[in-house]
Structure 1
Amino acid sequence: MEKLKKNDDCKFKVSIVIPTFNNEEYILDALESVINQSYKNIEIVVVDDGSTDGTQYALEKYKNKIKYIYQKNRGVSAARNKGISVSTGDFICFLDSDDIFEKNKIEKQLKIHKENEQLCVSYTDMAIFNGGKNFEKSYHKKNNMNCQSGFIFKNVVLGNIISTITVMIKREVFNNVGLFDESLNIGEDYDMWLRIASQYEVGYVPEVLSFYRRGHQSLTTRKPTSTFREPVLVSIIKKHLALNKDLKKQIPIVKLRRRLFQPYFDSGWSQYHAGNFFLSFNYFKAGLRYWPLNLKTYFYCIACLVGNYLNKNKIMKK
């Protein structure tokens, strides 16, 4: 790839891939936030993943400003992969069709790549908004995330600090690490960041440059599982630790065990509030293998047993 030069402000093309599915209500907001970027050498690729609403009609007036691709519904990974394959930019960014970019996002992020021509990947801070003017401040600070630049494999294992809408990636990276794993129905982005972080230095821009829309049912929304299985995030982490045994040595065992515990607890919490007490109990119990000193989990295990007993009595009385 041609080297970045500080005085060639718009020499390098940046492709923004926008996957969408039945999101005519918000996609124009996302699109306008890209069109109005201060950095102008951009390519906008919208991949419509089988929408049946008015998305295609809504985008008609932008047909001269975007590359529009329609495909049968295959999921967000397939949509992003299609966008990567048809894009032509030196760098690639992603924006879900219900989210928005800050107007200087591309310009500010590209700046750190110009300052360090060897840098292939960068990410930024983000914020959450509810569709109006109620923007939260820093998502990273609010959640005490350990966001840094450099070789951050350990940081990414211990917390998903990289959000898809914040990344900027040189095209050549995908040639090396591959595309998004279409077999994953959740965590496909996390899997990608672990692949990248295990091989590349990553740059961090500590500014809120992307905004995630709270509460909207987007293309990345997943239905909870109805049967017990190892949480996908645990499977992903285990896979990458097995592939990177030398890097695994950098991770404190106590922190790693708590990290592996959390997806089990989250799954148990979700099932508990759905009234699936037996399934919830199994998740809480499995999580205790990693963090047996978490007293709150024992409380929920007891609550699940009680809830399951009461449910059985209700069924017998009917």
Structure 2
Amino acid sequence: MGMQPRHRTRCRGDDEDGECKTCDGDRTHRPPLKPATHGREAYSPSRYAHDAVTTQPADREPTNELRFSVIVPAFRAEATITATIESLLAQSYLPREIIVVDDGSPDETAEVVAGFGAPVVLIRQENGGTSSARNRGIAAATGDVICFLDADDVYEPGRLASVAAAFAAEPELDAVLTDAALVEPARTVLASSWWPAEANRVRLDIRAKIIFCALCIRRPVLTELGPFDQRFHLLEDVEMWHRIVCRGYRVGYVDEPSYIYKINPVGKTQAAQTVNGEWELFRIDLRYALAWKTPLSWRPRLAFRSLRHLRTSLKARVSR
């Protein structure tokens, strides 16, 4: 059972005389202890991915060596943030902290988050975009490993345990990526299905399209990489992935779809396929085709791909 937010709502009176029969006299309601869904179904792991890790919360350990900080940028997420946080609190390997950065939401996102206790931490800021919110969360994080989660997605209960096991098995790894299940109304596909058949699933390279939030990175590595580039408004995570692999960081892979990515028809995933998305892809690929840290064997591929994105972007602009 998920945790119920502890925020209170003002009593408006339930009977004809305006007297409330459920408050405790101070004119505030205390919600009953039941799973809070805020307009969506309660989180159910098996509903989204059949092959995901399903370690139950009862198996959790109270202390763990590797400390995880999970960064959740949130904007207008009142309807989804509860299930997102509950999926983190249901982890068999509990995170050290869950940092939710409310990016100037005009709804009650911050109030919902504030109803949770530790390890949930709420940071509020003026609207600055996803990159700004992630950077703010990273700056506040104290864990050994930084993970990311969008405010309308969820983790399977065994996700952090599988990532911790991967780091323990190969301590030299700088980051660990898990597979992800992309959930649409009519179908579910795996992120790994995008990869070329010859791609190395243990040491990924620039060819792999990934769900960036399925990546967990050691905090010192993120410090070396620097912040997300706020000049990219749609594909800042793609730029960061290029930065990671082109600089030769070691990325491990867990072949389990333990990140559940909800496809939003009006979200950033779809927006990335627009003219502006193609233009940002052109800029990213060109940047790393010319970067001196990019392996020489990758540069022709990146240069060719950048021209393809440029052509697509220009054709779309002309056809408008």
TM over 0.5: yes
Count of aligned pairs: 257
Spell out structure 1 runs of 4+ moving beyond 6 A: none
SS at match of 2:298: coil
Question: Are 1:136 and 2:188 matched, yes or no?
Answer: yes
Residue of 56, 59, 73 corresponding to 2:127: 73
SS at match of 2:237: helix
Residue of 225, 228, 234 corresponding to 1:180: 228
Specify whether residues 221 and 35 from structure 1 end up closer, same or farther in structure 2 by C-alpha distance, changes over 3 A only: farther
SS at match of 1:62: coil
Please report the TM-score for the alignment, with normalisation by the length of structure 2.
0.71
Structure 1 partner of 2:175: 121
Q: Give distance in 2, aligned partners of 1:256 and 1:87.
A: 33
Question: Are 1:205 and 2:254 matched, yes or no?
Answer: yes
Structure 1 partner of 2:14: none
Percent identity of paired positions between Structure 1 and Structure 2: 29
Contact kept? 1:140, 1:147, Cα under 8 Å: no
Structure 2 partner of 1:189: 237
Report the alpha carbon displacement of residue 181 of structure 1 after superposing the two structures with TM: 0.8
Q: Give distance in 1, aligned partners of 2:211 and 2:278.
A: 23
Q: Name stretches of at least 5 consecutive residues in structure 2 with no aligned partner.
A: 1-61
Q: Give distance in 2, aligned partners of 1:11 and 1:189.
A: 28
Instruction: Render the CA deviation track for 1:163-197: whole Å, top value 9, x for unaligned.
Output: 22201100000221111111222321111111111
Contact kept? 1:120, 1:200, Cα under 8 Å: yes
1:57-72 equivalences in 2 (<5 Å): 57-72=111-126
Structure 1 partner of 2:64: 10
Q: Name stretches of at least 5 consecutive residues in structure 1 with no aligned partner.
A: 1-7, 272-278, 281-303, 309-318
Specify whether residues 102 and 69 from structure 1 end up closer, same or farther in structure 2 by C-alpha distance, changes over 3 A only: same
Question: Are 1:162 and 2:215 matched, yes or no?
Answer: no
Specify whether residues 252 and 233 from structure 1 end up closer, same or farther in structure 2 by C-alpha distance, changes over 3 A only: closer
Quick one: which amino acid aligns to residue 306 of structure 2? Answer: L
Contact kept? 2:77, 2:152, Cα under 8 Å: yes
Question: Are 1:242 and 2:290 matched, yes or no?
Answer: yes
Question: Are 1:251 and 2:303 matched, yes or no?
Answer: no
Specify whether residues 246 and 69 from structure 1 end up closer, same or farther in structure 2 by C-alpha distance, changes over 3 A only: closer
Contact kept? 1:47, 1:70, Cα under 8 Å: yes
Q: Give distance in 2, aligned partners of 1:221 and 1:129.
A: 13
Quick one: which amino acid aligns to residue 169 of structure 2? Answer: E
Q: Give distance in 1, aligned partners of 2:194 and 2:242.
A: 23
Specify whether residues 216 and 147 from structure 1 end up closer, same or farther in structure 2 by C-alpha distance, changes over 3 A only: farther
Structure 2 partner of 1:276: none
Report the alpha carbon displacement of residue 63 of structure 1 after superposing the two structures with TM: 3.5
Structure 1 partner of 2:148: 94
SS at match of 1:108: helix
Contact kept? 1:21, 1:218, Cα under 8 Å: no
Structure 1 partner of 2:306: 260
Q: Give distance in 1, aligned partners of 2:187 and 2:85.
A: 19
Report the alpha carbon displacement of residue 142 of structure 1 after superposing the two structures with TM: 5.4
Structure 1 partner of 2:161: 107
Report the alpha carbon displacement of residue 252 of structure 1 after superposing the two structures with TM: 7.9
Instruction: Render the CA deviation track for 1:233-280: whole Å, top value 9, x for unaligned.
Output: 121122122223661x21384x546523442455367x4xxxxxxx23
Report the alpha carbon displacement of residue 40 of structure 1 after superposing the two structures with TM: 1.7
Structure 2 partner of 1:148: 201
Quick one: which amino acid aligns to residue 201 of structure 2? Answer: Q
Instruction: Render the CA deviation track for 1:41-75: whole Å, top value 9, x for unaligned.
Output: 43100000000101122223213441100000000
Report the alpha carbon displacement of residue 11 of structure 1 after superposing the two structures with TM: 1.4
Question: Are 1:44 and 2:98 matched, yes or no?
Answer: yes
Quick one: which amino acid aligns to residue 234 of structure 2? Answer: I
Please report the TM-score for the alignment, with normalisation by the length of structure 1.
0.72
Contact kept? 1:11, 1:41, Cα under 8 Å: no
The structure richer in helix per residue is: 1
Quick one: which amino acid aligns to residue 260 of structure 1? Answer: S
SS at match of 1:259: helix
Quick one: which amino acid aligns to residue 244 of structure 1? Answer: W
